[in-house]
Structure 1
Amino acid sequence: MNDDPIAPTPPEGLPEQLVSDLNELSPEELRKTIIHAQELLNFQDEVPSAIEPQSGDDIIQVTEHDSYTEVIKQVYCNETCDDCPHGPYLYHVTQEPHPDGTTKAYWRFIGNVPLDDE
């Protein structure tokens, strides 16, 4: 657990007990919680998040903003790479409309970010 006084602010309407429980989880438990929450959304026929990890990605943090989603992730390139994982990297993700009426997630690379000690 990170004792940083500038902790992320939970979204409005999230139950206080759930916020408290999430704050007690380890980074690995949080990642598993994210996966399970995404599975629950898909099971309930909700529109899945545009933030879907690709093979080799390890999403560390997702923060929603009014016009974009901030994503911090690490990338694993292959099993023989001694420098893996790479990052963490910061991206801003927006939903870009296409002429056919669909939207697609556009990932804009912002740069490296420091990884907090766990």
Structure 2
Amino acid sequence: MTDTSERPTPPEGLPPNLVNALTDCSPGELRKAIVHAQELLHYHGEAELPVAAEDNEDIVRVTEHEGYTEVVKQFRCADGCDECPHGPYLYHVTEEPQPDGSHKVHWSFMGGVRVEE
């Protein structure tokens, strides 16, 4: 899970006035802002990248960059594993156009990373 004691760092390139406006929002207002941002992405023809944790993994960090999303996550395997969780590992997530005009999400494994506690 994400450490909620520290304020998250905004993604590169997000205008400061937007960062300030979002920082001042309540949780309910933030949820509405997310819905509106997703609607704007669809309006502009951009599909949402499905960067969500599966049942056996934790998303440690997500950072948006121009052209890709950087995702750091760790995994839990079967019960009884003394080394769980495994990772964290870094992935670059992109959306790739397909010959039929659709888009496919592609996860590129970049390697293990250290996460500052």
TM-score, with normalisation over the residues of structure 2? 0.64
Q: Of 4, 16, 22, which residue of structure 1 is paired with 2:20?
A: 16
Instruction: Read off the aligned partner of 1:16 and give its amino acid letter.
Output: N
Counterpart in the other structure of 1:27:
none
Unaligned runs of 5+ in 2: none
Q: Provide the aligned length of Structure 1 versus Structure 2.
A: 98
Q: Where in structure 1 are there 5+ consecutive unaligned residues?
A: 22-32
What is the rounded CA distance, in whole Å, between the counterparts of 1:51 and 1:8 in structure 2? 17
State the match for 1:115 in structure 2. 115
Task: Give the CA RMSD over aligned residues.
Answer: 3.1
Using the aligned pairs only, state the percent identity.
41
- 1:88 and 1:107 map into 2 onto residues whose CA distance is 15
Paired residue for 1:100?
A: 100
Q: 1:20 to 1:81 in 2, by over 3 A?
A: farther
Preserved contact between residue 96 and residue 103 of structure 2 (Cα < 8 Å): yes
